[in-house]
Structure 1
Amino acid sequence: MTTTITRRDVLAAGLLSAVPFGIARTADTSWGGYDQAIVIEGLGGPGSLTADSNTAWTPEHLSDVRASGLTCAHMTILPVGTTPTDAAFTAAVRGIAWVEREIDAHPDTFARIRTVADITAAKRAKRTGLIYGFQDGVAFETDLDRLTDLHYFGIRVIQPTYNRRNLLGDGCLEPANAGLSRTGFDAIERMNTLGILVDLSHCGRQTAADAIRTSKKPVAFTHTGCFALANHPRNRTDEELRAVSKTGGVSGLYIMPYLSGGRQPTAADVIRHLEHMINVAGEDHVSIGTDGTISPAVLDQAYKDAFARSVRDRRAAGIGAADENETGYLFAGDLNTPRRFETLSAMLAGRGHSTSRIEKVLGRNLMRVFADTWKS
């Protein structure tokens, strides 16, 4: 038997059990301002865990995108982890080309995003824009001139490092915590000049601190959690959240087991971390990057097997993080819907957050950061 939790299936009981922010007024999963808002997925995209890489998105995937209400999504272009630079660059270019073909094949659903004006246009056209980003610098770590080519191909967000060390710096799982290399510092300067947002989500603490100090443009943690609430190397300390806000940047909350000690997270976990981010960094510096797929997970045996393989493969490659386990699924069961951003909006509204604040968290903050970092 398969279980897909849809928007109507979300249970009201327990949704508002996070640390109180205000008086809970509603457990409704709809929010009146959602369809008019700019809604940006800070990290995620079409597809599903069980779909083969670089195979056409299915009619169900496309339907979920159209139902989601997302204005745009920052999606990852692979690879991540230790990969020879030439092979990584080739794989990245081919990955971009594949997404470009999917956009061309479904112009009623998708739009290319290169500028902030493209985001506004996608909203007007009722399409979902796709923003290309890297979670690792392996495709250009030996040749920073490639950044110019990658920007031309549409890359607008880059993490210098993933969990491990590369030639740019240390990732968050490196015990040495050595920070940016000389090449890493040069890469930050190049990204600033080209108009590429510096994303520090998987970077080591010293790497992140070096980038925050060096960057002349706002930086971001597009998908992270709060270390003060869950001790995990992927989560960020209050000091780091404040430091990013001082650059004018944003910290985006993911929906991951790292919010909850390795168990599958719940909506209450998400709200608890989201409200902590707002309290620490300020409402102008918080966003959402789920680190998941737009389509809901179908928790059947195929999904469980694929997830278990992914955990084992990541562990074997040395890029698995602490608390990764074969049942710590990367979605919240009570947010397992294409319109999870709307459910979160309704929960925030029910807890006393203003319409203005909710709109900022949904997408206005990220849109401002894109405007400050991208070149028109």
Structure 2
Amino acid sequence: MTATTAATAARTTDTPLVIDGLQCGPYDRDVFQQLRAGRVTCATATVAFWEDAIETMDALAAWNDLLDANADLVLPARTVGDIERAHETGRTAILLGAQNASPLQGRLGFVRHFHAMGLRVMQLTYNNNTEFGGSCYEETDPGLTRFGREVVREMNAVGMLVDLSHSGERTRRDAIEHSALPVVLTHANPRSLYDHPRNADDATLKALAARDGVVGLATYGSLCGRYARTLDDWCAMVARTVELVGVRHVAIGTDLSPKAGAAEFAWMRKGRWTRSEQRGADLGSPPASATGTGEWLADASGLARVADGLVATGFTRDEAHAVVGGNWLRLYASVLKTGDGDGS
């Protein structure tokens, strides 16, 4: 065995896969170095919130250039094999996703197009109701629409992950039932632990688990309340979620926004649809219990501590490794398919 092979084998055996199911914001080499410092094997990066098809294609092209320029730190993830290769070579695989289905512009065939261009995760709705279903922030959730059912079916066929993080509860449960493959909440928490419209009720989480889906627990203070304050607090939220749905169905979805500033947050919250103030998940004035901002996770480098934090909370080492990465990897293996959009 060569020295390189031995080092790779040791890294693969001794170091857990750390996978973050959702991040968003501007990325550069400094952010990639933070991911490496956090020993992050794979992170899903957001390429679209309100963008149309052309804007999303521009974003994907920019990501191709960015990944090429930093190939010593990162690589594009289109299959589970790419994620495993990143782990073996000490890099971070970047899985690209959209937090809205706006890039489709009413065209079912664009699901296959965007899959072929590298998109692997897509939310059916973001902060507003769409032609696909209802948002968690709207007063009325119509559920998964006829078009939404077609899109879910197409995403299943090509191997694109259906994300319901910002959807309303009726739309979430409709999609869970309709999808032939497991679906996910990439960045949400149990509403029974912190009451927020972006979080999911217990019935939805149990339905998700029954179909072998995964919930990525967010670290964002507005979605965690007191559970955001310290790593121990956040691990306690993980433990309570595991009691609800089982360790197989719980993972990480931080919702970190590296280097995002006022302009980026304004776009995330307002897009082009309003001139009024929109606070997103902050909901204007968070209660005192929600003011924690997760200082223990100022950037992705803090993710290196999570497995040990879970063990200190009472998880076995195998259970901790499942939560920090193994559960996402298993789910990706059941959903993600080839990179050419042929659905094989």
Q: TM-score range by the shorter chain?
A: 0.7 to 0.9
- Residue in 2 aligned with 1:91? 55
Cα distance change, pair 148–310 in 1 and its aligned pair in 2 (3 A): closer
TM-score (norm 1): 0.78
- Residue in 1 aligned with 2:331? 369
Aligned equivalents of 1:290, 1:216: Cα separation in 2: 27
Asked whether the 8 Å contact 2:190–2:241 carries over to 1, the reply is yes
Alpha-carbon distance, 1:100 to partner = 0.5
Return the letter of the residue paired with 1:336. Answer: A
Aligned equivalents of 1:186, 1:337: Cα separation in 2: 38
Asked whether the 8 Å contact 1:134–1:159 carries over to 2, the reply is yes
- Describe the SS at the equivalent of 1:42: strand
Aligned equivalents of 1:137, 1:257: Cα separation in 2: 26
> Which of these residues, 281, 290, 295, is aligned with residue 333 of structure 1?
295
- Residue in 2 aligned with 1:132? 96
Aligned equivalents of 1:317, 1:130: Cα separation in 2: 34
The structure whose residues are more often helix, as a share, is 2
Alpha-carbon distance, 1:269 to partner = 4.1
Query: Unaligned regions of 5+ residues in structure 1, if any?
Result: 1-31, 49-56, 298-302
Aligned equivalents of 1:263, 1:37: Cα separation in 2: 24
Query: Aligned-residue CA RMSD in angstroms?
Result: 2.9
Q: Map of 1:337-352 to 2, 5 A cutoff?
A: 337-352=299-314
Asked whether the 8 Å contact 2:133–2:144 carries over to 1, the reply is yes
Asked whether the 8 Å contact 1:241–1:277 carries over to 2, the reply is no
**Aligned residue pair count:** 323
Aligned equivalents of 1:264, 1:283: Cα separation in 2: 20
- Residue in 2 aligned with 1:112? 76
- Residue in 2 aligned with 1:6? none
Asked whether the 8 Å contact 1:113–1:130 carries over to 2, the reply is yes
Q: Map of 1:248-267 to 2, 5 A cutoff?
A: 248-261=212-225, 265-267=229-231
Cα distance change, pair 269–222 in 1 and its aligned pair in 2 (3 A): same
Aligned equivalents of 1:137, 1:309: Cα separation in 2: 19
Return the letter of the residue paired with 2:87. Answer: K
Aligned equivalents of 1:117, 1:342: Cα separation in 2: 22
Alpha-carbon distance, 1:330 to partner = 8.7
Aligned equivalents of 2:292, 2:59: Cα separation in 1: 23
- Describe the SS at the equivalent of 2:113: helix
Alpha-carbon distance, 1:157 to partner = 0.9
Q: Map of 1:168-179 to 2, 5 A cutoff?
A: 168-179=132-143
Alpha-carbon distance, 1:66 to partner = 2.5
Alpha-carbon distance, 1:326 to partner = 7.9
Aligned equivalents of 2:118, 2:99: Cα separation in 1: 15
- Describe the SS at the equivalent of 2:135: coil
Is it true that 1:357 corresponds to 2:340 in the alignment?
no
> Which of these residues, 287, 295, 300, is aligned with residue 251 of structure 2?
287
Asked whether the 8 Å contact 1:234–1:258 carries over to 2, the reply is no
- Describe the SS at the equivalent of 1:43: strand
- Deviating more after overlay: 315-324 vs 237-246: 315-324
Aligned equivalents of 1:333, 1:95: Cα separation in 2: 30
- Describe the SS at the equivalent of 1:224: coil
> Which of these residues, 19, 23, 33, is aligned with residue 63 of structure 1?
33
Aligned equivalents of 2:194, 2:291: Cα separation in 1: 17
> Which of these residues, 127, 152, 171, is aligned with residue 188 of structure 1?
152
Query: Unaligned regions of 5+ residues in structure 2, if any?
Result: 1-10, 339-344
Aligned equivalents of 1:334, 1:34: Cα separation in 2: 27
Q: Deviations over 1:167-219 (max 9, x none)?
A: 11111111111111110010000001111111111111111011001000001
Aligned equivalents of 2:246, 2:63: Cα separation in 1: 35
- Residue in 2 aligned with 1:40? 19
- Deviating more after overlay: 325-334 vs 272-281: 325-334
- Deviating more after overlay: 210-219 vs 232-241: 232-241
- Residue in 2 aligned with 1:123? 87
Aligned equivalents of 1:265, 1:210: Cα separation in 2: 34
Cα distance change, pair 73–250 in 1 and its aligned pair in 2 (3 A): same
Aligned equivalents of 1:239, 1:173: Cα separation in 2: 19
- Residue in 2 aligned with 1:321? 280
Cα distance change, pair 322–125 in 1 and its aligned pair in 2 (3 A): closer
Return the letter of the residue paired with 2:37. Answer: A
Aligned equivalents of 1:257, 1:372: Cα separation in 2: 31
